[in-house]
């Protein structure tokens, strides 16, 4: 993956290449070629203000 990708591109990558739902609660970890950087994609739902 191109490490310049943002969150939207990572969501698309998870859906199209990995055939997974990025909003399922699974944590997806991507590392750079040199293994000196990580990008973590995780969906955390937050309760609304009245809950």
Token couple for 7 = 């969150």
The C-alpha angle 11, 49, 46, rounded to 5 degrees, equals: 25
Residue 47 lies in a domain: no
34-42: long-range contacts at Cβ-Cβ below 8 A with a sequence spacing of 24 or more? Answer: 37/3, 39/3, 39/5, 39/10, 41/7, 41/10, 41/11, 41/14
Domain boundaries, position 21: 7-41
Number of domains in the chain: 1
pTM, entire model: 0.76
Residue 51 lies in a domain: no
| pLDDT tens-digit series, residues 2-27 | 788 899 999 999 999 999 999 999 99
Give yes or no for residue 51 having a pLDDT over 60. Answer: no
Give yes or no for residue 44 having a pLDDT over 70. Answer: yes
């Amino acid at each position: 993956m191109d490490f310049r990708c943002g969150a939207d591109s990572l969501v698309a990558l998870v859906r199209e290449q990995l055939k997974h739902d990025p909003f399922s609660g699974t944590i997806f970890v991507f590392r750079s070629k040199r293994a000196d950087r990580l990008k973590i994609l995780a969906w955390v739902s937050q309760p609304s203000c009245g809950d």
